[in-house]
């Protein structure tokens, strides 16, 4: 099945990892892509050497000079066709995402659907890149603001959403008139190669200048090239807070723009007035979906003391029913972690929690035996903890859920906000006052705040991003398109005089 999938997506056993569209090359070291599903070698990619990177950037500069002159609706039509191409390849690309990354097959299909949805959003957006008009204080003058393409957008994406986050950035950037250079995670390189092939076919049909879609596969050094390059006015980076701080510092040092989507330490407050069926379902999916490897994964449950034991019992029962195994088998709820390093981090977090006094009500551990040969399958676990534990303040990219107790809604919100990260948050309540307080200025300090749904599953229509150590960036929907453009204020004098602003007189 995987062999047919790779053939459909034009992926060879050894692929070059740098591309300007039609042209493929790569003179760097070879990296292998091993599936966490079964430990098998999927393929290899030759990474981008510095000479490859330079070739991609120069081609992007040349392409931008032409691409920015295309009318935005015409650029949108190209993106519409990319959406159609993704629809045709949804099954194959979804399977590759599942197999190379390890998420469930349904989540793999869902990720490709997000790509299709953002294409649809971007097509409509291509006719709505609006500015403002305003009245001038000077007679016979008109003022307005407009937005122009920014230039080259560098995109650094993470392994957990190997294609969707790239598309959130790229489709918007393209309709805005920018060109893009993508540095995907070296843990999921084949997903990026597949996307580049899909886009290249559409671009060739539409005579899009080569270089509008650039690809540079590599390690941390490749990301540093993007971050430090003054030719790239915007770098969008998704990943850990540690990585984001390095990118932000490098881009800031040259006064460029950084769009940062970093770590999350997301919590659900479960009120005594909650619908407990919804609360438990939202909590379980939020905690174990993608094996806890989402930036929006639920990592903390803040539960009212009057229902704490009841929720704990229901969660324990629900976790006992989880099926862990091959994510391409749709009967399984939980797949593997991305690699052995992630497993080590998971085990270290469990030991840290126990050392701080945490009590596990659902024990963790690594699964062994038939079907678990890759060594990347772990048990989702639940620990009773306290907000002040250092491990609770930390984001562990694995299915570990911490239970915390509260007595008043003010206390619950304080616990929710009392971590360095600020991405996603939720409250489960049927109490209107609690819901409104949670959404108020004195409520959740996160970029995403939900009522009666979990912390994961953001829709592309809303701007996605968070505050504090999550980075402050916004991408995908709403008016996130503005970050990919430069803003310009224009004043036109259509009179026969030259009155100066603020009534200043300058007689000659």
Residues designated as active site: 261
DSSP H or E stretch at residue 477: none
Sign of CA dihedral 299, 302, 305, 306: negative
3-state secondary structure (DSSP) of residue 488: strand
Sign of CA dihedral 476, 479, 481, 482: negative
User: What does DSSP say about strands 213-216 and 421-422: parallel, antiparallel, or unpaired?
Assistant: unpaired
CA distance 160 to 177: 28
CA distance 244 to 258: 9
User: What does DSSP say about strands 30-34 and 467-468: parallel, antiparallel, or unpaired?
Assistant: unpaired
CA distance 446 to 299: 14
Among candidates 36, 45, 281, 313, which has minimal Cα distance to 160? 36
Q: What is the 3-state secondary structure (H, E, C) of 233-259?
A: CEEEEECCHHHHHHHHHHHHHCCCEEE
Among candidates 256, 231, 289, which has minimal Cα distance to 424? 289
CA distance 72 to 177: 7
Chain mean position to CA 268: 20
């Amino acid at each position: 099945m995987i062999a047919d999938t790779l053939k459909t997506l034009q992926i060879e056993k050894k692929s070059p990892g740098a591309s300007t569209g039609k042209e493929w090359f790569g003179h760097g070291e070879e990296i292998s892509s091993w599936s966490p599903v079964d430990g098998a070698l999927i393929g290899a990619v030759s990474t981008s050497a510095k000479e490859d990177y330079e070739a991609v950037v120069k081609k992007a500069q040349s392409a931008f000079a032409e691409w920015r002159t295309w009318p935005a609706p015409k650029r949108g039509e190209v993106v519409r066709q990319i959406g159609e191409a993704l629809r045709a390849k949804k099954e194959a690309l979804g399977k590759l995402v599942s197999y190379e990354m390890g998420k469930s097959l349904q989540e793999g299909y869902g990720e490709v659907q997000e790509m299709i949805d953002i294409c649809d959003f971007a097509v409509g957006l291509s006719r709505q890149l609006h500015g403002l008009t305003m009245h001038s204080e000077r007679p016979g003058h008109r003022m307005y603001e407009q937005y122009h393409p920014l230039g080259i957008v560098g995109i650094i994406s993470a392994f957990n959403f190997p294609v969707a986050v790239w598309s959130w950035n790229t489709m918007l950037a393209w309709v805005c008139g920018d060109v893009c250079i993508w540095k995907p995670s070296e843990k999921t390189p084949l997903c990026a190669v597949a996307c580049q092939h899909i886009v290249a076919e559409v671009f060739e049909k539409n005579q899009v200048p080569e270089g509008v879609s650039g690809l540079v596969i590599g390690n941390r050094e490749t990301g540093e090239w993007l971050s430090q390059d003054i030719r790239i006015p915007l770098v969008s980076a998704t990943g850990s807070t540690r990585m984001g701080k390095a990118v932000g510092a490098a881009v800031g040092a040259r006064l460029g723009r950084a769009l940062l989507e970093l770590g999350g330490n997301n919590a659900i407050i479960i009120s005594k007035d909650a619908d407990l069926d919804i609360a438990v379902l939202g909590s379980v999916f939020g905690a174990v979906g993608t094996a806890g490897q989402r930036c929006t994964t639920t990592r903390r449950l803040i539960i009212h003391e009057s229902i704490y034991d009841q929720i704990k019992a229901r969660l324990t029962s629900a976790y006992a029913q989880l099926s862990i195994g091959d994510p391409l088998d749709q009967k399984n709820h939980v797949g593997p972690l991305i690699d052995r390093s992630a497993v080590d981090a998971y085990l270290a977090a469990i030991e840290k929690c126990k050392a701080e006094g945490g009590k596990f009500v659902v024990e963790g551990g690594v699964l062994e035996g038939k079907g678990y040969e890759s060594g990347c399958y772990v048990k989702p676990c639940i620990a009773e903890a306290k907000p002040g534990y250092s491990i609770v303040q930390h984001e562990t990219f694995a299915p570990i859920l911490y239970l915390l107790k509260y007595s008043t809604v003010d206390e619950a919100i304080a616990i929710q906000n009392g971590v360095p990260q600020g991405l996603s948050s939720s409250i489960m309540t049927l109490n209107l006052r609690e819901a409104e307080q949670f959404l108020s200025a004195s409520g959740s300090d996160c970029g995403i705040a939900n009522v009666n749904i979990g912390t994961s599953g953001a829709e592309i229509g809303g701007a996605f991003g968070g505050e504090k150590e999550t980075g402050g960036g916004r991408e995908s929907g709403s008016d996130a398109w503005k970050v990919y453009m430069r803003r310009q204020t224009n004043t036109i004098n259509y009179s026969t005089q030259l009155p100066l602003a603020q009534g200043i007189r300058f007689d000659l």
